A and B are shown apart, each in its own frame.
Chain A
Amino acid sequence: MRGLILAGVALALLVVGSTVALRLYRGNKEFKVFLGAFAGAVGLYAAAFWLLPADLGILPPTSREGVPAVDFGNGLLVLTLIFHGYWCFCYFSCLSPSMSVMVALRARGREGMSRAEALAIHGGGQPVDLIFQRRLPKLIQGGYVGEDGGAYRLLARGGRVASFGSLLKRLINTPVAG
């Protein structure tokens, strides 16, 4: 129980800390903010688990796990699983093209939206659509894709991700690429 309570406190601090950090962050690598917040939360959780008494001053004896390592591991597992969900929620809410359409439609009310207008939200019809404006520079910086005489070439690192992605897609039986 000690692990669960401390994990809950660490998660609350993680959410508040990452929300504040994202408002202050000016770059376009938000994942670093999330990973930093997670690392901080894990450090805080481990330190509190180590330093605070086994009953936290409030827990009855029956709520105390007999083996501290199990208690610690259980809290860490819950912290990690909820962090992953929170991270995905933030990315989906803020960056997903589908969510962008729903947010835009909500603002429009009864007016609705045509397919062409949905495309325009993401830069459809522009020389470089917004999806590529955001992703290609990151893939190049990360060493996944290289520029090669006016074209883009897959590098070894990108090839490994593509192989793994293809494997996952075969496992869930979804088209490998459109």
Chain B
Amino acid sequence: MADKPMTGQAFFVLTALADGPRHGYGIVGEVAGLSGGRVRLKIGSLYGVLDRLSAEGLIEPDREEAHDGRLRRYYRLTRDGRGALAEEAELRAATARVVRSRLGLAAEAAG
């Protein structure tokens, strides 16, 4: 079975959880901030991603907190999730280095 690459949305959600647990809307806000407003997760997309990451063992529920009479569920990265995020970040950084080099941006920045 072919391995599947991580989607952009999954990458942003994992990144949003990298510095601590967050609840659903907290993740939406953090992803919007991280992406400079380019990625605005709708509820169907968010829970599609959370469901998949949870099934793959990359995130897990952290705790539930009552807020204005509603229960907020917080999610956190698992050890596998941390590893997967680090690996993906490294891959993206390596790709970005190649792109910058091919566009001549690295030389310009150095110069």
Say whether A and B bind each other: no
